[in-house]
């Protein structure tokens, strides 16, 4: 945990804190016990001289400028561990999201921003911009290869656009494009369990970088596209592999 002292200037305003209170009326940050449990299990503790407890105290002390200029909120995975262990159940990830959204979009991390933009403009909703035909080719090619190489899975299926399947399965788009063999273990599990599932030829990508960018509009667009594809195929359950 970082041991850098927090310096508080006089006459501070608590705009971020006030905004959080409006959004989370029951999430009283003043209830923080400074016990450090949030920092103990946080994978981002110590990065950029910051940890969840210090981040929270800076907000309570009205250090909005320092928090907004810090890169640490972009290192948070929003894994919710801090909320899980917090005895007062303070929602730090929600505050992280608000801090990200407060930064001008063109000043947010370029890698996350570009991945969001590519996904929004892709039929696959993929951060890699995977074309529909490329995805279909890879799935069919890998399936054929494993059917031939492993006779015990000769009747295994990896359906695409199967109408009426129980589960609509999504897929991290990095796997079919860079590590296609990584798709197969899940196929085998679903096959052996007798699960009725399908991919969609469109909006099949599991990742959503617009969420991490704190871009609510495009986050919703991607989720809506995936939900619409599941509805179009008349699937009952959306199976999120992320």
Q: Could you give the CA distance from residue 138 to residue 149 in angstroms, rounded to a whole number?
A: 16
217-228 pLDDT, tens per residue?
Answer: 999 999 999 999
- 158 half-sphere exposure, CB direction, 13 A CA radius: 28
Instruction: Identify the pLDDT of residue 228.
Output: 97
166-201 pLDDT, tens per residue?
Answer: 999 999 999 999 999 999 999 999 999 999 999 999
Comparing 68-72, 119-123, 146-150, 152-156, the range with the smallest average pLDDT is 68-72
Binning pLDDT at 50, 70 and 90, where does residue 15 land? low
Q: Which residues touch 227 (CB under 8 Å, ≥6 apart)?
A: 238
Give the pair of three-digit tokens for residue 158: 């990896």
Q: What is the mean pLDDT of residues 31-44?
A: 89
Helices and strands of the chain, counted as H and E runs: 12, 3
With residue 167 as reference, give the H or E element that holds it.
strand 167-169
**How open is the CA angle 174-108-61, to the nearest 5 degrees?**
125
The radius of gyration computed from the CA coordinates of the chain, to the nearest angstrom, equals 22
Instruction: Identify the pLDDT of residue 21.
Output: 63
Query: How high is the mean pLDDT of the chain?
Result: 89
**What residue spans define the domains of the chain?**
15-103, 110-239
Give the pair of three-digit tokens for residue 96: 């992280």
75-123 pLDDT, tens per residue?
Answer: 998 899 999 999 988 888 888 998 999 899 999 999 999 999 999 999 9
Question: Taking the chain, what is the end-to-end CA distance rounded to the nearest angstrom?
Answer: 29
Instruction: Identify the pLDDT of residue 221.
Output: 96
Binning pLDDT at 50, 70 and 90, where does residue 241 land? confident
């Amino acid at each position: 945990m970082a041991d850098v002292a927090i310096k508080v200037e006089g006459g501070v305003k608590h705009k971020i804190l006030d905004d959080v209170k409006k959004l989370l009326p029951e999430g009283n940050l003043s209830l923080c016990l400074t016990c450090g449990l949030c920092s103990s299990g946080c994978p981002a503790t110590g990065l950029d001289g910051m940890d969840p407890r210090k981040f929270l105290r800076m907000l309570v002390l009205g250090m909005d400028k320092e928090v907004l200029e810090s890169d640490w909120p972009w290192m948070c995975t929003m894994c919710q561990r801090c909320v899980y262990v917090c005895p007062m159940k303070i929602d730090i990830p929600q505050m992280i999201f608000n801090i990200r959204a407060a930064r001008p979009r063109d000043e947010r991390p370029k890698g996350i921003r570009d991945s969001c933009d590519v996904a929004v403009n892709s039929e696959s909703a993929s951060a890699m911009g995977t074309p529909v035909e490329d995805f279909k080719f890879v799935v069919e090619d890998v399936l054929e290869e494993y059917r031939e190489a492993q006779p015990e899975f000769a009747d295994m299926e990896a359906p695409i656009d199967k109408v009426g399947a129980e589960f609509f399965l999504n897929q991290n788009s990095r796997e079919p494009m860079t590590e296609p063999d990584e798709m197969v273990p899940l196929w085998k599990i679903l096959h052996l369990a007798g699960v009725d599932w399908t991919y969609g030829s469109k909006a099949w990508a599991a990742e959503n970088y617009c969420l991490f960018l704190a871009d609510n509009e495009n986050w919703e667009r991607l989720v809506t596209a995936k939900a619409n594809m599941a509805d179009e195929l008349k699937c009952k359950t959306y199976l999120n592999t992320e």
